[in-house]
Structure formats: C-alpha cells, structure tokens
C-alpha cells in the first residue's frame, strides 16, 4: 500500500544462481495492464573497487603539437593514499561534430573526410607515497578529421589484488584554428536559378574568425550501381563520382559570407568550402530540381521554417510567455500550445515577417508544452512560385519551483566501522519553509555506485523531464502542390530550440566479479514531524570505505532528493583481497595490506583462518610494526581449495593496542567448467530389453535431470521442448517458438519445468506467452521483430498469426482483437509486390504469400484466388512455400490429394533462403504437419514422423525454428494417432537389478534422476506395443567438456597488449591486460546470430 505521501517500497530475493544481466521492475495499478512506472538494474558477480581514482589535465583543449600535463591521484575509499601502486594510461581519439553555441544554423565539417578512431597506450608507472603521479601528453599532428576530435583519457590504478580501478575524462582536440560551416538555403535549388549558401568561420571558442579568402568548389554527383560478389554473396555496391563544375572564392565579414552558384542541370550537387592555408573545410549536398512547368511556376517541396523564441527559459503557472515568431513570408498564422492535447489556440494575420504573442501558462503545461506555429499564404496570379506554408515549434518549460523539495542531511564525516550512526535531516519546500513529508534513505558503498556511475535518484528531475509532443501535424499540402514524382518528407517541426544530443556512456560493460563485504543498506521510509525533521539509525557493518547516503523525499505533490558522504575507517585498517571465486584444487595467494592513520607507531597482529573447502597453507599470523601516520605493510596469505565445491568462510582478526575487530568473508569454490545440458530418447518394442545409459558423473550438487517413459512417440521431443522452454532470448520468432511446447505438449512442459505442475499453471504460462506476442503487435496488425521496434516483420507476423490461429483452434484464450489484427495483416500481404525483380526477392515474396494462404486456410478462410495466382508462379516458391500452398489446398478441399501431388522435395537451399527460415528438417516437419491435418494414419505421415523422431533422438535440430516446427508436427501427429497404439507391459530396472517402475499402455512414468541409482537402466517390454523414453540431464561436468560445434564454430585466441599470443606455454601475470578474440564461422548463411 502507498503511504500518505504516495511512497512505498518492495523487495525481491534473488536466488544465488540467478542469471546475470539486466533486470527490470515494474509497478501496476490493480486491474491495469500498462505499468505505472519501471526501473532497471544489473545483476552481476562483482567486486567493488577499493580505490578512488581521479585524473585531470592542466589545460582545457589541445591543438596539434601542444602538450598537456595530466595529474593522477588515487586513494583508498577509507582515506589512505594509494601509495606505490602501479598505474597505466591510454587515450582514444574519435571524430565528433563541432557545434558552437550561437551558430546552430550552420553545419560544420567536411563529410567527405574520414578519421579512423585511434587508441594508443600512453604511459605506465608507479604512484608516489601520496598516491599521485604526473604524466604528459603531446597532441599528434597530421590529423585531418571531418570536424573536431574528442580525446578520451583512461587512467587505471591496480590494487594489490590485481584488479584495476579506472577513471576517464575527455578533452577536445582542434586540428584547425577555426572551423568552416555551411547553412543550406531554406528552399529548393532549381536548375538555371541562383542558389545561395551562407558560410561561417568560427574559432574553437565559438568566436567569429577572419580566415581570408576561401576556395569554393561545386561538383555534380553521379552514382554508379554495380553488383559485386563479397564472401560468396551478391551485393549491390554504390560508387559516387564527383564531377567538377564550378570553382570560386568566398570572402567573409565578421565570420560570415555568402557563396552563390547556378545549377546547370537537375541532379545532386556537392559543395565544398576550403581554407587552403590551414586545411579546414566544410561540405554539404543538395538537389537541384527541374521545375514543374516553366520559369516562375516551379514549385518547392521543402517545408520552410518559422523561427520561435521565448523570453525566458522557464516559467511558472500563471505567468505569461512572450513568444516571438519569425515567418519567411506573410500570411495567415495558426498558433497552438499542445501537450498530448491542445491547450491554447489563436489565429492571426501575419502582415510582416515577425510578430510577438503573449501566451498565458497553466498547470496543464507542466513540465513542458509546445508552441506550434503554422503559416500559409494564398497563391497569387503572376507571383513567383515558392513555398506556401511554414511550420515551427518550440518547447516551453513550466514548473512550480515551490514543489521542488530540498533535503538537508546531517551525518558524521568519519565514523568507526561497526558503529550505529544517526542520520538527521529536514525537508523544505521551494521557498525554504519546512514541510511535513516522508523520506526514503539508502546508504551504499561508493565503490559499488562507481561501477555504473550511479546517480542519486532525483524524482524532481524525473517528473520534470522534457516530454515529447503528443500530437501529430497533418495538412493537405501534398495534394495542393505540383509535386510530380517527388516525395515530400515527413513534417518535422523546425523551431528555434534545436535538437538536443543524448549523452551516451561508452564502454559500460557488466562487471564479472563477486563481492564479499558489501555496504548496501536500505534504512527504510521515515515520516517527518510537522517541522519537516526526521531521524534514522544506520547499523554499519565491519566495513572500511566511503559510503553515500541517498535521500528521496516527498510531500504531497512536491519532490526532492539529496546525498551526503561518510567515511568508515579505524586508525588501523587491514585489507584482505580475495579472488571473486576459486575452483577445487586451486592454490593461490591473497594480498594482505595493513594501513595506519594513527599519529604514532603501532604493532598490529592479523590472524587469518578458513573453514569449509578452503584452507590456509603455512603462515596464519602476520605482525606489522607500523610507524607514524600513513605507514603500511604488505603480506601474502597462501590458501588452497580442496576437492569439493561450496562456500568457504575466511575470517580475518586484527589486533592492536588492546583493540580487536573481525572481518568475515564468503569465498565461493565453484567448478571451473560451465553447466551443460544433455538429452536423449529412444524406443523399445514389445519383446525387447533395452539398456538406457544416462550421463551421471556431474560435479556433486549440480545434477538435474528427469527420465520419462510412455507409449507417446512425442516423448522423443523432450529435448526439443526443453530447448525451447528454457531459451533465454525474446525476439518475435523466439517468443513464438518457445510457446509451441505449452500449446502442443503441455504434459512434457510440466516434466521440464516444476513450476508447470498442473494444467492451470501451463495455461497461465501460455497466456503470458500470448501477451508477450501481443506486446509486439503494431497498429496495422503486423508484429515487430523485437519489443519496442516499430517496423513490421512480415515473415514473423505470419508466423505469429499461425501460432495464434492454432492456439484459438486448441481452445486457448486468445484476445479477439489480437487475432483479428494479425489475420488482417496476413490478408494485406497477398497483394504485395516484391521490392525488386531479383530472383531471391521473387522467391521470398511468393513463399511468404503461400504461408499467408495456409494460415488463412487454417483460420477457415482460404484465399482461393490468390492461391491460384501463387500456383501459377510456383516456380518461384521455396520448399516451405510449396508445402504451405499444398497444405492450404488440402485444408480447403479436406483431402490429402494436394499433398500427394507435392511429392518428395529434394533440399534445394539457395542464397538468402534464410529469410523464410528454410531448412530440410523444417520442410519435412511442415509436410508432416499438413498430413496430420488431413490423414495422420497415412504411410507418408508415418514415414515423415519416423524420420523426424530419429532426428530428435540425435538432437539434430539446431535452431528455434526447426525445433518448433518439428515439435509442432510430431506432437500433432502423435496426438491424432494415439488410438492406433498397441498394448504392452513394461518394467524399468536399475543398475542393482531393483525394479524402479512398472506401467502399461496409456500410462506415463516420470522420474527425477536424483531418486535413481547411478548406472545404466534396463527397460523390459512385453506385448505388441512400443515404449518411448526420453531423458534430460544437466549439471557441471567433473572434467572439461570437449569443444564442439553444431552449425556454428567458435575459435578463441588470447593476446597481450602487444599482440603476442597467450597460451599454456606463455602465461599471464596478475594485472596483465588480455585481449580475447572470438572467430565465429557459421556453416551456412545466417540472418541473426546471438553471442553470449
């Protein structure tokens, strides 16, 4: 329940074996399907950095040949300097745009220039006693980038454990003393008429430059299209030729000038402005059109802009915004203020180029609204033809400043580990008055927060964030103007605000480590008194470092946040750096470092003990005689892991001056090999005795597995079902494929997932899959390939419609509008023509139409006319298309004759056939699916089923699509041939000769391998019937699994910083940089490939 201030907290326990990666949490109102809010977080094995690293340059920017001094400083988070620790530095130079303030109308830089990103090692060394160092960097010369360059400096300091603590900062590099920019004309360039472009020269600081005469060149662009073979595939290659047409000079005044030229013919033109002395250049492209009609009757297709400016950056409700609108021509103007609805409207006559409006602002405009202006002018006889409308928009920011809370936090600057600390504070409104409310408090290790540069949550910034315009703009301009064959671009408001670039955090990778001492405290939610005051107690663990106290406050509809820092340290601090994990049999050293911040000398004794699968070898007690403040001592503790896995408990006891404190660490001892999963299946006929060998030699405590036996042939699909149900990714095809086992083989699904123990749970899981599929549906009924995308995925949309139709036929709950929209889109595919006349496009198009016809026939509405058209063009059908067309005819005629005419299809995979998921096994599965619909007891159906079951036993299906279609076909065939099976009696005996189970036809036995003695099992069958069995076994192997490949081969190589190979003969030292190269080679063309 929400509190009186609208706040609540909830938590979820993550299992120790939870998969790593990005998780999300969503909150819903009761009965609502759309989340009210969401957040995301990372689940990773990590060790929080124990060091804080800072670096800075003594200058703000660099030019060629200029030298910058870089200062490096590092300290432990509990305050001690990182004395005598190794450091290294490198830099990365990459091209970036030059966008000076006040010059937004111009585009700076030369698009024809290229600059490859440069990464270079800079220097390595050792920090001094103060944890500091200084290095220098001389900016290279000879770089000729399109515009500016960003230099990113990365500095790392290595802890004694070998872990690197990084820090990066950026600095601009200016290859030129000034940059050239071009402003395109607002209208079209027209053949035979003068076209003018404004030119600007701007210094790096944003001031106008005086470069002297500039060279101007105009080129006519010709594009040549050629078919080439690349990696055994045909590709269209485009080559651009620049044909010189005009040369001239440009003179600037106050940094601005004009270049004018006349296009001699229609076509694409490339314009370059160059300063020959310094090498700075700018370029742009524009298109010159052939006029419609002649002379002054030529039209313009570009939308002219209205420039809008406001008199303030932010406003309060009740204030009036003075908005200036500048139009390129006179006419009638419509001005609106909009959010997701229209809030204000005014129509006025513009008889001059600029006007000012006073717009009242209201609460409905919080946090921002958009002023949109639209001007149209009439067509007058004899007047030069040009643009007759202009559009502009500008965001207006509105907020109630008194609703922004300030939180004054009061905590000690430095405390002892293990203490109970009181945190106090007061919340005040925007006017500074205390208010009653509620505060949520978190206290977290700054080292953890630094891993992702986590910022203290700010609800005010969240609620006041800029919102997109919720309305679209339309007009009849395209119908009124003589556009001929030209396409009008989408209406995109111009306006005076300009685009705002999003800041991207580069090189953020999840951290692979495990932390042993974590400081992460959620103190709770605390209501304040009437004076806004609150108080909370923090019970600190035995932890040395720096923590951040984060406060999020609410008072009605007012919000705020604050942060404060607190260091936890004793006069003597001992740091034991353990690896994040070890493997059975490992022997290793753990650095033990002892620091003193005491004003006088101390004798310190540290004792290390271990319990569980790790033991201390040799010395267990370490004595350090430390001098005065900032002295330190370093030891190595030798440990070894035994043969068993599990959690080891390491204890470090520190004693000095009669004081004792203890730190406890958990160290996981886990196998060095990954968990793998195996499966197998078989059949025992009446009168046979069959041995069932199941792999069992897993690392203790990691085995999971199940053996299932019955008279159901689809048991051979247990491996395929497990593969699909546990598949971790979620594109449209993968989501639909993973849903088939829940629909077709719900009993097997229950054997795979204990959470699907009964039919109701299976139906709930199926319902979730249907909702996931529905979440990818677009407005026209099509489906996107991934959640969040907005482009239809035609083949995937038909596949989703196929599943939804089958689900509806099976009695599953499918929303009517979801299925109706899907089938509507499938119908719309039938009249579509291919994108071009290439053979592969024709084959793709016809095959997709055949699949659409089958799905519509399955839904009871076979498109007979389109089916006849497809049959006439059957030469363009891929194998699956031929099967789908035959299946559509078989369903519509309710006879197997069309399938008999299909005959045997020899595998005929061609280039790019992967766009419709072709494979020989999938084609066989589709044929069986068609036979199962009309004549499941036929000989062709039995032959196909036997072939597919044999493939399933060999785990020969290597994609989600092949597994899904094989499972669907064999599952449907098995269900429809159930009544034809023969009676039997079966007994299962373990390796000791004891009977485990006995059963007969119509019964199923499902055994957990944990309840079965290791060794081969024996299945004895009497009677005429056959018994099918299937098993799954998973765990961590006791020995390294042999490398294998199945459709995709992966090779790995390790090299050091200099490119030298690292192998068994040449190892790596602690802290070395290792670069891993993966070479992935598919055995056949693939469309999508996931690398984990």
**For 339-368, what is each residue's pLDDT tens digit?**
999 999 999 998 877 899 999 999 999 999
Residue 60, number of CB atoms within 10 A of its CB: 10
712-980 maps to CATH 3.40.50.300? no
Q: Report which of residues 790 and 870 the model is more confident about.
A: 870
Least reliable range by pLDDT among 223-237, 839-853, 1038-1052: 223-237
When pLDDT is averaged across residues 762-780 and rounded to a whole number, the result is: 89
Confidence at residue 833, expressed as pLDDT on a 0 to 100 scale: 83
- pLDDT at residue 380 in the model: 72
- The pLDDT assigned to 751 comes to 64
Q: Please give the pLDDT value at position 653.
A: 97
Q: Higher model confidence: residue 188 or residue 569? A: 569
Q: Is the pLDDT of residue 575 over 60?
A: yes
Is residue 154 within 8 Å of 166, Cβ to Cβ?
A: yes
Fold agreement (304-399, 572-669): yes
pLDDT for res 522: 93
pLDDT at 488 over 90: no
> What mean pLDDT value characterizes the chain?
86
Q: What is the pLDDT of residue 943?
A: 86
Task: Report whether 351 contacts 433 (CB < 8 A).
Answer: no
pLDDT of 147 reads: 96
> Per residue in 807-832, pLDDT tens?
999 999 999 999 999 999 999 999 88
Query: Exposed, middle or buried by CB within 10 Å (0-12, 13-18, 19+), for 591?
Result: middle
Per the rule left: phi > 0, alpha: psi between -120 and 50, beta: everything else, 279 is left
- C-alpha 236/C-alpha 229 separation (Å) is 9
Q: Which residues face 921 on adjacent strands? A: none
Among 38-47, 231-240, 442-451, 805-814, name the one with the lowest average pLDDT. Answer: 231-240
Fold of 304-399: Immunoglobulin-like (2.60.40)
Residue 553: the pLDDT is 96
pLDDT score at 1043 = 79
Report helix, strand or coil for 805: helix
274-301: average pLDDT: 70
Q: What is the third-level CATH fold of 51-173?
A: Immunoglobulin-like (2.60.40)
477: confidence class by pLDDT, cuts 50, 70, 90: low
646-674 per-residue burial string, b: 16 or more CB within 10 A, e: under 16: bebebebbbbbeeeebebebebbbbbebe
Q: Measure CA 987 to chain center.
A: 51
Q: Provide the pLDDT for residue 12.
A: 81
Greatest mean pLDDT among 147-151, 642-646, 757-761, 930-934 lies in 147-151
Is pLDDT at 648 greater than 80 in this prediction? Answer: yes
Ranges of beta strands (E only) in 965-1074 are: 984-989, 995-1000, 1005-1008, 1017-1023, 1026-1035, 1048-1055
CATH assignment of 572-669, among 3.40.50.150, 1.10.620.20, 3.40.50.720, 2.60.40.10: 2.60.40.10
Give, as one character, the DSSP assignment of residue 783.
B
Residue 757: is it exposed, middle or buried by C-beta count within 10 angstroms (0-12/13-18/19+)?
Answer: exposed
Angle, helix 732-744 to helix 718-725, in steps of 10 degrees: 130
Can you tell me the distance from the alpha carbon of 685 to that of 703, in angstroms, rounded to the nearest whole number? 30
Of residues 814, 724, 728, the one with CA closest to residue 777 = 814
Q: Give the mean model confidence (pLDDT) for residues 393-413.
A: 95
pLDDT at 346: 95
**What does the domain layout of the chain look like in residue ranges?**
51-173, 179-290, 304-399, 403-467+514-568, 572-669, 712-980, 1048-1082
Please report which helix (H) or strand (E) contains residue 439, including its range.
strand 438-445
Q: Domain 179-290, CATH 1.10.150.120 — does that match?
A: no
Q: Rounded to an integer, what is the distance from CA 318 to the centroid of its chain?
A: 42
CATH class in words for 403-467+514-568: mainly beta
Task: Give the pLDDT band of residue 514 (cuts 50, 70, 90).
Answer: very low
Give the model's pLDDT for residue 1087: 63
Residue 46 has pLDDT above 90, yes or no: no
> What does the pLDDT read at residue 914?
66
Mean per-residue pLDDT, 13-31: 78
Token digits of residue 406: 């300030």
Check pLDDT > 70 for residue 959.
yes
Read off the pLDDT band of 1028 (50, 70, 90): confident
């Amino acid at each position: 329940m929400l509190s009186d201030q609208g706040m609540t907290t909830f938590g979820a326990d993550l299992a120790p074996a939870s998969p790593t990666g990005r998780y999300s949490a969503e909150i819903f109102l009761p009965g609502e399907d759309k989340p009210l809010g969401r957040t995301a977080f990372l689940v990773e094995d990590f060790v929080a950095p124990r060091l804080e690293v800072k670096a800075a340059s003594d200058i703000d920017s660099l030019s060629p040949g200029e030298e910058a001094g870089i200062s490096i400083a590092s300290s432990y988070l509990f305050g001690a300097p990182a004395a005598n620790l190794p450091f290294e530095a490198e830099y990365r130079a990459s091209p970036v745009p030059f966008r000076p303030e006040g010059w937004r109308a111009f585009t700076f830089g030369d698009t024809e220039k290229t600059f490859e990103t440069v990464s270079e090692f800079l220097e390595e060394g050792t920090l001094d006693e103060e944890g500091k160092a200084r290095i220098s960097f001389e900016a290279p010369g000879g770089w000729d980038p399109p515009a500016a360059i960003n230099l990113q400096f990365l500095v790392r300091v290595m802890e004694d454990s070998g872990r690197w603590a990084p820090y990066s900062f950026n600095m601009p590099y200016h290859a030129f003393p000034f940059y050239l920019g071009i402003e395109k004309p607002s209208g079209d360039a027209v053949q035979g008429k003068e076209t003018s472009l404004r030119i600007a020269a701007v210094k790096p600081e944003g001031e106008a430059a005086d470069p002297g005469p500039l060279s101007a060149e105009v080129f006519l662009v010709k594009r040549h299209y050629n078919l080439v073979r690349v990696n055994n595939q045909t590709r269209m290659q485009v080559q651009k030729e620049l044909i010189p047409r005009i040369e001239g000079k440009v003179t600037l005044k106050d940094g601005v000038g004009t270049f004018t030229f006349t296009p001699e013919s229609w076509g694409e033109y490339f314009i370059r402005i160059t300063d020959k002395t310094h090498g700075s250049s700018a370029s742009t492209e524009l298109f010159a059109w052939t006029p419609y009609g002649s002379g002054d009757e030529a039209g313009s297709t570009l939308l002219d802009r209205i420039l809008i400016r406001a008199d303030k950056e932010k406003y309060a409700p009740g204030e009036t915004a003075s908005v200036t609108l500048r139009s390129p021509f006179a006419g009638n103007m419509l001005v609106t203020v909009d959010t997701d609805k229209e809030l204000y409207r005014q129509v006025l006559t513009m008889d001059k180029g600029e006007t000012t409006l006073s717009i009242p602002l209201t609460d409905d405009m919080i946090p921002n609204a958009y002023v949109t202006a639209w001007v149209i002018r009439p067509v007058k006889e004899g007047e030069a033809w040009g643009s007759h409308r202009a559009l502009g928009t500008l965001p207006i920011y509105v907020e109630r400043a008194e609703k922004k809370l300030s939180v004054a936090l009061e905590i000690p600057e430095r405390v002892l580990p293990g203490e109970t600390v009181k945190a106090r504070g007061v919340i005040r409104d925007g006017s500074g008055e205390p208010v009653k409310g509620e505060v949520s408090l978190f206290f977290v290790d700054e080292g953890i927060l630094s891993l992702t540069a986590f910022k203290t949550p700010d609800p005010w910034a969240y609620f006041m964030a800029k919102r997109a315009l919720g309305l679209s703009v339309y007009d009849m301009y395209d119908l009124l103007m003589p556009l001929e064959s030209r396409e009008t671009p989408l209406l995109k408001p111009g306006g005076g605000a300009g685009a705002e670039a999003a800041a991207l955090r580069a090189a953020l990778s999840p951290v692979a480590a495990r932390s042993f001492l974590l400081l992460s405290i959620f103190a709770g939610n605390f209501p304040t008194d009437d004076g806004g005051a609150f108080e909370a107690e923090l019970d600190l663990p035995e932890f040395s470092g720096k923590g951040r106290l984060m406060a999020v406050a609410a008072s009605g509809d007012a919000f705020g946040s604050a942060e404060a820092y607190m260091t936890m340290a004793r006069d003597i601090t001992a740091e034991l750096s353990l690896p994040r994990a070890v493997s059975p049999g490992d022997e290793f050293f753990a650095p033990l470092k002892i620091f003193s911040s005491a004003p006088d000398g101390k004798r310190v004794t540290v004792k290390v003990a271990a319990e569980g699968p790790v033991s201390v070898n040799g010395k267990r007690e370490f004595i350090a005689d430390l001098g005065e403040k900032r002295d330190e001592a370093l030891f190595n503790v030798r440990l070894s892991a035994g043969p068993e896995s599990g959690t080891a408990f390491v204890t470090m006891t520190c004693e000095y001056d009669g004081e004792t404190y203890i730190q406890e660490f958990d160290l996981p001892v886990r196998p060095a090999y990954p968990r793998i999963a195996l499966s197998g299946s078989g059949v025992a006929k009446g009168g046979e005795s069959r041995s069932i060998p199941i792999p069992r030699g897993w690392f203790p405590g990691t085995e999971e597995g199940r053996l299932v036996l019955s008279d159901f042939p689809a048991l051979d699909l247990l491996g395929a079902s497990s593969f699909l149900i546990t598949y971790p990714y979620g594109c449209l095809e993968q989501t639909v494929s993973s849903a088939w086992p829940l629909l077709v083989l719900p009993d097997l699904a229950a054997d795979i997932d204990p959470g699907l123990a009964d039919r109701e749970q299976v139906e709930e899981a199926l319902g979730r899959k249907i909702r996931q599929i529905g979440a990818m549906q677009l407005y026209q009924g099509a489906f996107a390939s991934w959640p969040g995308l907005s482009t239809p995925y035609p083949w995937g949309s038909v596949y989703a419609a196929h599943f939804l139709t089958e689900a509806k036929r099976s009695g599953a709950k499918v929303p009517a509008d979801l299925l109706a929209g899907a089938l509507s889109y499938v119908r719309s595919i039938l009249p579509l023509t291919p994108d071009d006349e290439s053979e592969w496009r024709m084959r793709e198009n016809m095959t997709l139409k055949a699949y659409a016809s089958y799905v519509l026939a399955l839904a009871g509405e076979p498109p007979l006319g389109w089916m006849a058209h497809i049959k006439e063009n059957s030469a363009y059908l891929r194998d699956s298309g031929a099967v789908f067309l035959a299946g559509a005819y078989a369903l519509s005629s309710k006879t197997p004759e069309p399938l008999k005419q299909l005959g045997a299809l020899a595998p005929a995979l061609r280039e790019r056939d992967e766009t419709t998921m072709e494979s020989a096994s999938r084609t066989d599965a589709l044929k069986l699916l068609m036979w199962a619909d009309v004549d499941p007891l036929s000989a062709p159906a039995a032959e196909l089923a036997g072939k597919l079951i044999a493939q399933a036993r060999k785990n020969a299906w290597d994609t989600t699509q092949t597994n899904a279609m094989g499972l669907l076909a064999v599952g449907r065939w098995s269900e429809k041939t159930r009544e034809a099976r023969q009676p039997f009696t079966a007994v299962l005996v373990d390796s000791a000769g004891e009977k485990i189970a006995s059963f007969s036809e119509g019964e199923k036995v499902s055994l957990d391998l944990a309840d079965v003695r290791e060794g081969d099992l024996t299945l004895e069958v009497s009677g005429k019937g056959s018994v099918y069995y299937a098993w799954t076994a998973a765990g961590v192997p006791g020995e390294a699994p042999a490398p294998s490949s199945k459709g995709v081969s992966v090779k790995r190589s390790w090299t050091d910083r200099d490119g030298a190979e690292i192998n068994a003969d040449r190892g790596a030292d602690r802290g070395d940089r290792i670069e891993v190269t993966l070479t992935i080679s598919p055995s056949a063309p693939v469309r999508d490939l996931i690398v984990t």
